[in-house]
């Protein structure tokens, strides 16, 4: 009888320990979701915090040290294109407006996923998918497709 009681106790103890060891940690998934949500929330807040204007725009981007061929640099006198008056206004509701040389281009903006590393600007007739390099209150820089195998590089700064 004593042996039977000891074996039953051992089996119950083993089953109880096994269940506790295989149970998933509920906080692990919640922590990842909260971190992802925080990234998206922070980047969204930075994007809508103020209007943006061009600091620079380049073709043939390679990396941060080799931005490419300048098409526009704010304050330069030999710009190929004029982006002095171009402004972006991002809104909390996911819409934006680009004012460019007397033209208005409305659209919607969103991030591609929870890492908020790809900014999608959906205009009426086209869609830009831009890879964010830096997004802070004083600078928004990103790369975008330029043809089939090339990239452009954009630097936006706050409108003063």
Contact 56, 72 (CB under 8 A): yes
pLDDT at residue 115, as a whole number: 86
The pLDDT tens digits of the residues spanning 97-143 come to 999 988 999 999 999 988 889 999 999 889 999 999 999 999 999 99
CATH number, position 117? 2.40.128.270
Contact 53, 139 (CB under 8 A): no
- Domain holding 41, by residue range, is 2-158
Into how many domains does the chain fold? 1
pLDDT at residue 47, as a whole number: 96
Q: Which residue has the higher pLDDT, 126 or 7?
A: 126
């Amino acid at each position: 009888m004593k042996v039977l009681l000891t074996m039953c106790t051992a089996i119950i103890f083993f089953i109880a320990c096994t269940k506790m060891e295989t149970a998933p940690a509920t906080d692990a998934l919640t922590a990842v979701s909260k971190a992802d949500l925080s990234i998206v929330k922070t980047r969204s807040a930075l994007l809508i915090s103020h209007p943006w204007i061009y600091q620079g725009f380049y073709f043939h981007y390679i990396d941060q040290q080799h931005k490419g061929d300048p098409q526009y640099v704010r304050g330069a006198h030999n710009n190929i294109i004029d982006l002095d008056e171009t402004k972006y206004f991002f809104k909390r509701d996911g819409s934006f407006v680009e004012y460019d040389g007397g033209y208005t281009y409305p659209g919607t903006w969103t991030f591609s996923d929870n890492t908020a590393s790809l900014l999608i600007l959906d205009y009426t007739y086209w869609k830009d998918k831009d890879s964010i390099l830096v997004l802070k209150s004083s600078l928004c820089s990103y790369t975008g497709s330029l043809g089939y195998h090339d990239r452009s590089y954009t630097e936006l700064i706050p409108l003063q």
